[in-house]
Structures are given as C-alpha cells and as structure tokens.
Amino acid sequence: METDHRRAVAATDDREAAPVAPEELRSHQWYGTDGLRSFSHRARTRQLGYLPEEHLGKPVIAVLNTWSDINPCHSHLRDRAQAVKRGVWQAGGFPLEFPVSTLSETFQKPTPMLYRNLLAMETEELLRSYPVDGAVLLGGCDKSTPALLMGAASADLPTVFVPAGPMLPGHWRNEVLGSGTDMWKYWDERRAGLIGDCEMGELENGLARSAGHCMTMGTASTLTAAAEALGVTLPGASSIPAVDSGHDRMAAASGLRVVELVRQRTTLSQILTPEAYEDAVATVLALGGSTNAVIHLIAMAGRSGVKLTLDDFDRIARTVPVLADLRPGGRYLMEDFHFAGGLPGFLSRIAGVLHLDRPTVAHTTLREQLDGAAVHNSAVIRERTEPLAEEGGVAVLRGNLCPDGAVIKHIAAEPRLLRHTGPAVVFDDYRELQRTINDPALALTPDHVLVLRNAGPKGGPGMPEYGMLPIPDYLLKQGVRDMVRISDARMSGTSYGACVLHIAPESFVGGPLALVRTGDPITLDVEARLLHLGVDDDELERRRAAWSPPPARYGRGYGALYQDQITQADAGCDFAFLAREGDVPDPYVG
C-alpha cells in the first residue's frame, strides 16, 4: 500500500504547533474581514438570532446529520446532534447543524449503494462551500459511514465521526435474535415449512427493538469499527448501543474534541494515513466483518490519496486470526462485544500487527489510546490462542472467472463447500432468479453452483445486495442450507453462506461472468484462492465474439452520471472524476 502526492502528510503529530488564532480560522474569511461580504454574513447571522459574541472568533463546527423519518438506524440522531452541539458550545466553538442525505439500507431502492457517492459529494461540497472550520459526522447505517468519510477526506478539515450505534438485541420467545442474520435464517425456515405465519408475525415484532443499526457484525458495525480503527472516532465509540446514555455522552465529548482539533490544526489527512488504513483492514478481517468493507475501504483510501488494493486485503488476512465471536459467523451480538471491552479491548488482542505510533483524533498515538484497554469476556473476544478462525474472515479469489478479483466471507460458509466443483445454473438477472428458482424443471441439487449476473455496479444498477442467492424451497425442505453461489453483486454483511461476491469485471461490461452457460463446471478453492471456469480459452473467445453489451440502464439524471463514472468493485465503486488526482480550491469569499 502506498500514498500519492495529493494527500501525502507527515506521519508525526502536529499538535505541538501554536494553537490557531481567531484570524487564522477558515471561517474568518466569511466573518472577520472589513468588507461588504463579511458585513452581509454577520448581518444574516444576526437574522438567525445569534449574538456576535456567540460566534465571532470561534471555531465554526458543521454537524452533518443523516437523521430522517424513514431511517430507523438513525432515528435517534436528531437528539445526538443536540448533544454534539452541547459539547461544541462547552469547548468554545459555534455549532451549525446541516441535514444531509439519509441512506436507509432498509427502504432505499434499488440500493443505497447507488447513492453512496452522492452523499460523499454532498459532504465534500457542503464542507467546502460554507464557513466551517471543522466537522462532526453523524451516521452508521451501512453506506453512511463510508460516504461521510469519503467526502470529509476530500474536504480535509478537522473531523470527528459519531457512529450511530447498534440497536438492542432482538428477542423471540426464548431466543436472542440478530437483525438480518436471523431474518435470513427464519425466512428459510418458513420456506422449508418448519414455521408458519404466526411465528413470523412474532419475529416481525421482535427482530428490531430500538433505534440503531444492525447489532450483528454486519456492514454497519463493520464500517463503524473500521472508522474507530482508523482513528476518527473517540475510543470505544463504535460499539456503544444507540439507546445507551453513554452514547449521548460520547456525542457530547465528540463535540468537545473537534473544537480542540481545530485549535491544534489537526486535519483529517493527518489521521487517515496509509498505516491507519492497514490497521482498519486488519481490524475488519480479525472481526470477521462484512465483505462490503472491502469496497468501501478501497474507496475511502482513494480519497485520502492512499492506494489500497484487494492484494492488501489478502496479504493482511494471512496475518490476523478471527477473534470476534459475533454473528453472522459466530454467536454473540454487539452489546456483548461492547461490554466485553469494545474495540479498544479487541485491538489490544491484535496490537502486534497494528501501527501503534500513528495519531488518532483522541490521542497523540494509537499506543496511548490503547493503554489500559482490556478484554472482560474471552468468549466474545477470543484469545489469540483460541481463534474462531486461523486467518482473517474474508478471502480474495482470482481466476479466469474473476481476473480482477472476487471475495468470499469463508468463515460464514459451510466448510464442505470451501473446495467444490459443480455445474453452473445461470440466471441473467435477479428478477429471473426470483421467478424461476423454485421451478422443478431446473432439477437443482446441492452440488450445483448458482450463478447470478448483471447485478454489479452498472448492471444492478448500484451493485445491490443480491449475492446471498435463495436456495430452492424443495432443497430447503430436504435440509440443505448452503450452496456455492456466485455473482457480481454484493451481499448484506448480516448474510452468510458460500457466496462468492464482487466478481470483477462485472458481466454487464463484458466480464467473464457474462460468458458462463448453464452446465459449465465451476471450481471454488478458497485455500488456493481460486475461482475457475472449466471452459477452454478458445470456446470462451467464441462466446465473447458473440456477446453484445446490454443497453444502458439510464438515459438521464443522476443515474446517467452514475453509469458514466462508476468504477468496478476492485477499485471501490467511486466515481472516476472524484477518485482522480487534482486540486480543488477553497471558494473565493469576497
């Protein structure tokens, strides 16, 4: 992993420099000069009801809030924004709350991944165009964390991230439920005829009991843990339950801290170093975290001028064991993880592979931040000598079916399928899959390999979470709960199974997945990191010559911009014009 000149920063901490003077604040350009524009800005601030002494000469802090009425993961963030503002006031700053796009994993179609880069653009341009000196970012639902941090990294102001926090554990009768994970499990039980509508109605009421994101180690918990590992949150922030009073205190403390970061001139680029990204990758892999983190961390690193690749993930995966016994690959939930020591305790168990002398927003070094961190429950956070798996929970695959890579969360698959050869059954899109998967004429067996194409970044569109392809009802009734499934889609971090994902290049742009035919033998060998289509090169060339690209999904609007600029999964699915090098000046205030 390497850094480019666009965001190269000194690895040493800059906090011993003289504190920033009021006239050196970025907001001074708007408020402090002797000109017509500054007069207008001050007058309009009086229009908002603020006294001069409330804001003049003080760090102005943007509080970016992804709250909305239709995002249950963030339904408490309106209150948390008030706590952040309380902290900013107490530290002598001036907070301004900005509503930004909400990306609700539950409701937004075809997928909020289509809009991750839109929120990143909004974040960057909002921070750049308004009179702000620092930022606090509030989010947590899957795409919100990377989107906010991508935009903030491009704007490069002093920044603290406030994770939304996991919801309370679910309950049904005498069982503790994990959102997402147990939804998939019991939906299959219903399809297998083992439970009925009454039980499903009870599950519907008990699966999600409070505000907050999924309380499994799904994408939301994985990405907020990655944010903490990167050093952009306060210590322990990522696992505090959303409705715990400690979450309110953390939000207020984040407001206090960001004002100090402004005064110390600590920008986000000083925190988001190549070493920080390596540590975030190690954290995700040792947690057994979501495969979605691969795409998001690559995109986030790109915004920081850091080159992070699939090869880095595979290299680091071989150096860390899986120590978090968390669903979907384990037994416990995020509240258990929090009280077992949270991420500080967890990182203390993998400290030997971390870069401990890099800075965080809270401490001069990560070493200092982890001083005194402890694990209180070794059943939840395992000892190095008793790992859940010997290597990190995500494997990167190569082969003639995925020349630019693919991923599999192998710790969440049935071990018998990690080395498997079987005949392909191909579905050209997700609607066809839904319509025909239970057709007995397909004569599917547990040895078949289910293949879904046209579900990638352009083909989805937006690379929806279709990758946990459904198993036919008649096989579920026979007790089958896992099959090898291959696609250019993503899958929910709460999902499980032998699902090969993120095949690049995707089928919609002519990747090899577009050439697979029903009956072709496909070999998956996780240990060898291999995904191979058993068709000779001459035949593949004949098929390629007969292939023609499908029509574009969008004729206008944001979708047209998306399909024109989106990169492939191995490059992070950022927009090409956002990921490239180039300076962006601060606006002329006048």
Domain residue ranges in the chain: 57-167+209-368, 168-205, 394-544
Q: Give the pLDDT score at 114.
A: 98
Q: What residues in the chain have per-residue pLDDT under 70?
A: 1-17
List the beta bridge partners of residue 532. Answer: 523
Q: Give the pLDDT score at 59.
A: 98
Q: Give the pLDDT score at 7.
A: 35
Q: Give the pLDDT score at 322.
A: 98
What's the token pair of residue 587? 């606006």
Strands (E), 314-410: 395-397, 406-408
Alpha helices (H) along 288-321: 292-303, 310-317
pLDDT digits (tens, 9 = 90+) for 271-281: 999 999 999 99
Q: Give the pLDDT score at 17.
A: 62
Region label for 92, one of left (φ > 0), alpha (ψ between -120 and 50) or beta (otherwise): left
Q: Give the pLDDT score at 19.
A: 87
CB burial readout 230-261, b (16+ within 10 A) else e: bbbbbbbbbbbbbbbeebbebbbbbbbbbbbb
Domain 57-167+209-368 has CATH 3.10.20.30: no
Q: Give the pLDDT score at 18.
A: 81
Domain 394-544 has CATH 3.50.30.80: yes
d(CA 521, CA 506): 19
pLDDT digits (tens, 9 = 90+) for 148-200: 999 999 999 999 999 999 999 999 999 999 999 999 999 999 999 999 999 99
List the beta bridge partners of residue 134. Answer: 61
Count of beta carbons in the 10 Å neighbourhood of residue 79 = 13
What's the token pair of residue 323? 């120590």
Residue 412, helix vs strand vs coil: helix
Q: From residue 15, give the alpha-carbon distance in Å to each of 20, 231, 263, 365.
A: 11, 15, 9, 11
What's the token pair of residue 94? 């001036």
